[in-house]
Amino acid sequence: MTTTTASPTPVGPARRGARRSVLTTLLGRQPLGIAFSLPYALFLAAVFAYPLGLAAYISFHDYFFTAPGAAVDRPFVGFDNYTAALSDPGVRKSFVNIVVFLVINVPLTVVLSLLLANALNGAIRGRTFLRVAFYVPYISASVAVVAVWLFLFSKNGMVNQVLGPLAPDPSWLVNSSLAMPLIAFFVTWKQLGLYILLYLAALQGVPKELYEAASMDGAGKLRSLWSVTVPGIRPATTLVVLLSTITGANLFTEPYLLTNGGGPDGASASPVFVMYQRGIEQGNPDVAAAIGVMLVLGVLLISLVNKRLLERD
Amino acid sequence: MTTVTSGVPVVDLPDPDDPHDEPEHKDHRATSWPKMILLSLGALAFLFPFYYMLIGSLQEEPDTSVAGAFPTDGFTLHNYSQINERVNLVRSLINSGIFTGGVILCTLVFGILAGYALARLHYRGAGTLFAALLLVQLVPFQLLIIPLYVMIVRSYGLADSYAGMILPFAISSTAVFIFRQFFLQLPEELFSAARIDGAGELRILWSIALPLVRPAILTAVLLTFIGPWNEFLWPFLITKEADLQPLAVSLANYISNVAGRAANPYGAILAGACVLAAPAITLFVVFQRHFTASDIGSGVKG
């Protein structure tokens, strides 16, 4: 320091200060944060951003699998892969299937998880046991619980034994009009525990005074559930609808294992299953990528609409 | 350092499941009957398949009648040895463990760093990164399998390797989010005091912040665990060698390929299902205090 002050150029420290402020505007007050978050940022770039771009690229080119390092010509084909995907009846069927799935799964999920969370909220005997019981399916592997559902819903399975003459024919998993609803029901059951926890968290945030005011105004239990609880936890509902839609778009394991690869005539084939079939089994990654891009856009669109619809006042 | 930490109020997060945390105005009326019936029916519907899984895995002959769900004799471990003949259970469990362990390790190291930076440091790009973290939750992962398959299997030649399995899951964004929320709840004075004392950020993170967010770490580990442990599609796509397959994949292959040839296929399948489900269920029952509405809620309300 003494050498600096004694030097004939007293601009030294000032210039250093100026450089620091330039750095600060460039990198922020604590540039170390960049180093801390760099691995995660690179991870997101490599595993989400780049694949999204690559999916779009593949979907607009005549793309096929090659050995690593091989240089081949992959011409630009415009929307050909999209037309190919959309004119494939199997692909169209899978889109219809996922709509059927969502129409059953999402409302059922919202209503059941809201009811159960509401019943579980507050002081209740056996609360811890019940809470754990509700999320056991959520934390278990799909492959494991699919196994027991296969057993329960097989032709001579326990469900049909209980139903007796009412058992559907053909049986659940090979019945083209029951396979997809059963899968929707299965996924509702499996995921419900997470949504119950989300609603329980949201219920803590509804002010007690609102319930007191409602009961003073003569509102019954159902009335205050509808007029106080439901609006009070609307952000949680947005989240539940969003997460269950995304889970639905991800559907693969259940149709693959529960209905033995898409069910009768592709009655329970999900878009991800069709992507796997067309893309990897049959070697048409370009068409499969086009399906993927359309679905990602579809999910983002649903998310936006859902946010708008549920968050308006 | 000690003066800094001792002067700081302990961060106490409300836990609605802890009876000692229950607010005083807890009412003592009996729980209403309809509520209890609804909850009991719910618990039955959620737990019965697991009971049935265990019973089915222990029976010699599959008995699908209602009475068959409550057997009194004929218990055997034969199904477990049968599934073990077809699927190397120990090898598969080790593979599941390496896959899951790798993801948890990467999530803990890089996720905590990112969560701390997002919550406590001011730097260029923090806002963008946080927006990306939220946006990523909206992209259904399975829809990216084609480009990921092209990248990891065809370009990098990582098929049939643990690295290829782990890579797409390496850092759980949910865990990063939970870390950020918990670091945000710590008082700012704690950090400014430590910085005045001359502690570097790594030292502040390691000796001050981390010990205070220990519950968040357990919650994040639990949540991260169920991702790779239960994942089927990705390891199924990239492993052709049975020696590298996690249990979820080898059991699924057994269900879809060879089940028809076994003497009691359901018994063997259910035995495999029990082995696959048991570790996750055990972890969540033992650590259930760390997987409650308030833990998840703090991860959601942000």
Query: Which chain A residues are within 8 Å of B233, Cβ to Cβ?
Result: 252-253, 272, 276
Q: How far apart are CA B147 and CA B153, in angstroms?
A: 10
**pLDDT score at A170:** 83
A198 inside 8 A of chain B by CB:
yes
A115 inside 8 A of chain B by CB:
yes
* The pair of three-digit structure tokens given for residue B204, joined into one six-digit string: 């502040």
CA distances for A166 relative to A139, A154, A162, A176, B133, angstroms: 33, 15, 9, 17, 49
**pLDDT score at A4:** 41
Cβ separation of B145 and A279 shorter than 8 Å? Answer: yes
Does residue B26 surpass a pLDDT of 70? Answer: no
Provide the whole-model pTM.
0.86
Query: Which chain B residues are within 8 Å of A146, Cβ to Cβ?
Result: 255
Query: Which chain B residues are within 8 Å of A109, Cβ to Cβ?
Result: none
Tens of pLDDT, residues A204-261: 888 888 888 888 888 887 888 888 888 888 888 988 998 999 999 899 999 998 887 7
Candidates A301, A246, A294, A292; CA nearest to A273 is A292
Q: How far apart are CA A83 and CA B267, in angstroms?
A: 46
Q: How far apart are CA B41 and CA A189, in angstroms?
A: 13
Three-state DSSP state, B75: strand
* The pair of three-digit structure tokens given for residue A131, joined into one six-digit string: 């809470």
Q: Where are the alpha helices (DSSP H) in chain B?
A: 2-6, 33-57, 78-86, 89-106, 112-120, 126-136, 145-149, 162-166, 173-185, 188-196, 201-204, 210-212, 214-230, 233-238, 247-253, 265-286, 293-300
Query: Which chain A residues are within 8 Å of B267, Cβ to Cβ?
Result: none
Report the 10 Å Cβ neighbour count for B107.
Answer: 28
Candidates B104, B102, B111, B223; CA nearest to B164 is B102
The confidence band for B260, taking pLDDT boundaries of 50, 70 and 90, is low
Q: How far apart are CA A120 and CA B40, in angstroms?
A: 11
Does residue B259 surpass a pLDDT of 80? Answer: no
A180 inside 8 A of chain B by CB:
no
Cβ separation of A141 and B280 shorter than 8 Å? Answer: yes
B159 inside 8 A of chain A by CB:
no
Q: Which residue matches tokens 């097989």?
A: A154
The rounded mean pLDDT for chain B is: 83
pLDDT in tens, chain A (313 residues): 334 444 444 444 455 556 667 777 777 888 889 999 999 999 999 999 999 999 999 999 998 887 666 677 788 888 999 999 999 999 999 999 999 999 999 999 999 999 999 888 877 778 888 888 999 999 999 999 999 998 888 888 888 888 888 888 788 888 888 999 999 999 999 999 999 989 988 888 888 888 888 888 888 878 888 888 888 888 889 889 989 999 998 999 999 988 877 777 788 899 999 999 999 989 899 999 999 999 989 888 888 888 787 766 5
Is the torsion defined by CA of B216, B219, B223, B226 positive or negative? positive
DSSP string, A84-100: HHHT-HHHHHHHHHHHH
Q: How far apart are CA A180 and CA A268, in angstroms?
A: 5
Q: How far apart are CA B197 and CA B142, in angstroms?
A: 48
Return the amino acid letter for B139: V
B213: burial class by Cβ within 10 Å (0-12, 13-18, 19+)?
Answer: buried
Cβ separation of B49 and A125 shorter than 8 Å? Answer: no
A308: burial class by Cβ within 10 Å (0-12, 13-18, 19+)?
Answer: exposed
Cis peptide before A285 (omega within 30 of 0): no
CA distances for B238 relative to A57, B232, B273, angstroms: 22, 11, 22
B252 inside 8 A of chain A by CB:
yes
Task: Give the residues across from B75 on adjacent strands.
Answer: B59
DSSP string, B185-228: HS-HHHHHHHHHTT--HHHHIIIIIHHHTHHHHHHHHHHHHHHH
Please answer whether residues B271 and B83 qualify as being in contact, where contact means their C-beta atoms are separated by less than 8 angstroms: yes
Q: For the residues B208-228, what does the mean pLDDT come to? A: 91
B251 inside 8 A of chain A by CB:
yes
Tens of pLDDT, residues B172-205: 999 999 999 899 989 988 888 998 988 888 999 9
Chain A nearest-CA distance from B280, in A, is 6
Does residue B125 surpass a pLDDT of 70? Answer: yes
Interface subset of A 57-96, CB within 8 angstroms of B = 58, 65-68
Chain B nearest-CA distance from A63, in A, is 10
What percent of chain B is predicted at pLDDT more than 70?
84
Report the 10 Å Cβ neighbour count for B179.
Answer: 29
ipTM score above 0.90: no
Q: For the residues B153-167, what does the mean pLDDT come to? A: 91
